[in-house]
Amino acid sequence: MKSSLKLALGLTSAIAASTAVSSAAHAEDLTLCWAAWDPANALVELSKDFTKETGIGMKFEFVPWTNYADRFLNELNSHGKLCDLIIGDSQWIGGAAENGHYVKLNDFFDKEKISMDDFVPATVVGYSEWPKNTPNYWALPAMGDVVGWTYRKDWFSKPELQKEFKEKYGWDLGPPATFDQLKQIAEFFQKRQVDGKTVYGASIYTERGSEGITMGAMDVLYSYGFQYENPKKPYEMEGFVNSPDAVKGLEFYKALYDCCTPPGASNSYMGEGVDAFKSGQVAMHMNFAFTWPGLQKDENVGGDKIGYFVNPKGPGGAQFAQLGGQGISVVSYSDKQESALKYIKWFANKDVQAKWWSLGGYSCLNAVVKDPKFPASQPYAQTFLDSMAIVKDFWAEPSYAPLLQASQKRFHDYVVAGQGSAKDALDGLVKDWTQVFQDDGKM
C-alpha cells in the first residue's frame, strides 16, 4: 500500500510524466499507468521485450506518489480511457471491483492456464482478490513490497560500540529480533558520535497527509496483537482494534518516536526516510523494500555498509509486517482489452518475471522467489522473502479512504502531537471506523 489519502479523496491534481517504448504510435499501442518511481523505470526496460515479441507498442503514464491516487482514481471514477493497463494500489481492489473499473480475470486465467497458486499467497490475497479470500481475481500480482528495515552494518560492527553495547544490554549488537531490542539499539545510537558526527537511533513513519503514520504504526501494532475485526464476526472491532495489546503497541510506537528519531521527524515517510539514511543520520531505517536496490547501490551507505532485517517480533512472539505493493489490472473502459490481456499473459511468464527481478522489480512468482538461487541473488533477497511471509494489510474496503483518514488523524494526534492516550486514540478509531461501515450499510 502506497497511496495518498488527500489524493484519493480528489483534493489535488497532477500533471503526469509519460514515456513510450515504441518509436511511433499506432492503433494497438497500450498505455500502462503507474507511479513514477524506480520500479516503473525497470518496467519500461522490461516492456521493450513485449513490443519485440508482439509488435504492440507500450506507452506509460507515470505519476509521482504524491499525486498517484488522485490522478488515477479520478481517471477510473470518470470512466476515462487513458489507461489500458493500471498497476493500482492494493487498497483500490475492493472499490475497483465493486465499481466495475477492472476486468475480472478468472475466465482469462483459466483460458491461459495462469494459476494463482503459482504466486506468493499473500500477494494474491493482497493484490488480486475481492472479496478477500475468495477465488475472484481482478489483477495479476505485479510488484511485491513490504515494510522492513535497513541498518548501518558498518556502525554495528565497530568493536568499541559492540563492547559498550554488550556491557550495557547484555546481548550482542546486531539486527534486532524483537521490538524491545530494536528500541534498545535506537536508544544506544541516539545522539551518539559516530565517525565524528552526531547520529540518531531510527527513522520511522510519522507522515500525516497521506498514509505514512498508519503504515508505520500498523507495522508495530500487528505484532503486538492488533486485529482489524473479530475473526468470527466481520466489522466487529470493539476489543480487537483497541485491545490491551494493541494499546501497548501504540504506546511503544510513540515511545520510539519520542526517544529515538532525528530532529524534524514529525512528518516523515518514504522519501524522508531514505534521505535520513543516505545522509548518515540514523542507525536504522523503516521503509518499504522497493527502496533497497537504490540504497544498496549508494556510494555512501550501500555495499558493505548496509544490512537488512525483517520487522521484529512483538512481546508475545507474534511477527507481522505491513504489506505494500500492487497488482496489474486491465481497465474495463479500455478499447484495447484484448491487447492488454496479451500483456498480462506475457508478464506472467517465468522468464519475464525472472528478468523483472533482475532489473529491480519485485516478482511475486513462486518460481522466481523460491528458486534456490534467489536468496543469494541480492543482499536483500532473503529479507524480502522472509518479510513477504509475514504480511498483513490495511482495509481494502471500497471506503478505505475515510478509514485511512481516521487512522492518520488518530495516530498522528497521539504519537506526534501527544494528545490523549493510546487507549483514547484506539477507542476513537473504533468509533470512526464503525461510523464508516454503518454509513456503508455493513453494520
pLDDT digits (tens, 9 = 90+) for 99-138: 999 999 999 999 999 999 999 999 999 999 999 999 999 9
Amino acid 66: pLDDT: 82
DSSP code of 198? E
CA–CA separation, 321 vs 218, rounded Å? 8
Q: Which pLDDT score, from 0 to 100, does residue 414 have?
A: 98
- pLDDT band with cut points at 50, 70 and 90 for residue 153: very high
Q: β-strands 306-309, 140-152: how paired?
A: antiparallel
Q: Rounded CA gap, 388 and 366, in Å?
A: 12
Domain-by-domain residue ranges, the chain?
A: 29-145+324-387, 147-322+396-440
User: Is 5's pLDDT higher than 80?
Assistant: no
What residues form DSSP beta bridges with 287? 148
> Would you say residue 93 has pLDDT above 50?
yes
CB 263 within 8 A of CB 250: no
pTM of the entire structure? 0.92
User: Identical fold at 29-145+324-387 and 147-322+396-440?
Assistant: yes
Contact present, 129 and 93 (Cβ < 8 Å): yes
- Look at residue 65 in the predicted model and tell me its pLDDT: 87
Strands 321-330 and 85-89: antiparallel
Burial 187-209 (b: 16+ CB within 10 A, else e): bbbbebeeeeeebbbbbbbbbbe
Task: Give the mean pLDDT of 412-423.
Answer: 98
Specify the CATH architecture of the domain 29-145+324-387.
3-Layer(aba) Sandwich (3.40)
What cell was used for 309? 532485517
Range 75-78 contact pairs with CB under 8 angstroms and sequence separation of 24 or more: 75/33, 76/101, 76/331, 76/333, 77/101
The dotted CATH code for 147-322+396-440 is 3.40.190.10
Q: What pLDDT, in 10s, does the model give residues 367-381?
A: 999 999 999 999 999
Reply yes or no on whether the pLDDT at 19 is more than 80.
Answer: no
Averaged confidence pLDDT in the chain = 94
